[in-house]
Amino acid sequence: MSTLVVYFSQGGHTATVATAIAARLGATAAVIEEQADRDGVLGIATGAAAALIGHPSTIKATDHDPAAFDLVILGTPVWVGAPAPAVTAYIDRHRDALDRVAFFCTEARSGGAQALARMERRLGHPPLATLEVAEEALDDDALGQRLDDFLSELDETRTGSPQ
């Protein structure tokens, strides 16, 4: 089964998780890039405001077409209890190619469940599996096990039974 791991990451945390997931699966990883400049307080403030109201940002074309993959794993940082605007834009652009999708997010402390629920509403159907990773868990030895659990949950949706 071909899998695309696609993510937006401002500070590298979501990229770390995406890279680890892709490495475990031997999958392709692709980054979502914005046109907007998010440097500085103004960039972050406008990004947070857009996230809060669910306004998508303008994103560049990604290297890989999600329609060419059997499964897409989509990752975002949590911004004010919402997905980053670039990820909202990605859902809007590729909705038809995201019939088999899983979501993950990274967060400082909280808001991940809310962000994942907002992604589900934006997409229009539930993802196959979700994963929420707090920053402090990134260096935790248990992260590898959590990634494995997430991936085996996805595998079960494919085979219809626990492995």
Rounded to whole angstroms, how far apart are CA atoms 105 and 138? 12
159: tokens are 């085979």
For ligand FMN, the binding residue among 10, 57, 88, 130 (CB under 6 A) is: 10
Q: If binding is defined by CB under 6 A, does position 131 make contact with ligand FMN?
A: no
Closest to 120 measured CA to CA, from 95, 157, 140, 141: 95
**Pairing of β 3-7 and β 71-79:** parallel
Q: Which is nearer to ligand FMN, 57 or 106 (CB)?
A: 106
Rounded to whole angstroms, how far apart are CA atoms 39 and 7? 19
For ligand FMN, the binding residue among 135, 140, 148, 149 (CB under 6 A) is: 135
Distance of CA 40 to the CA centre of its chain: 23
| Amino acid at the residue 19 | T
For ligand FMN (CB under 6 A), the number of binding residues is 22
Mark 54-93 with x for binding to ligand FMN (rule: CB under 6 A) and - for no binding. -----------------------xxxxx------------
Mark 95-124 with x for binding to ligand FMN (rule: CB under 6 A) and - for no binding. -----------xxxxxx-------------
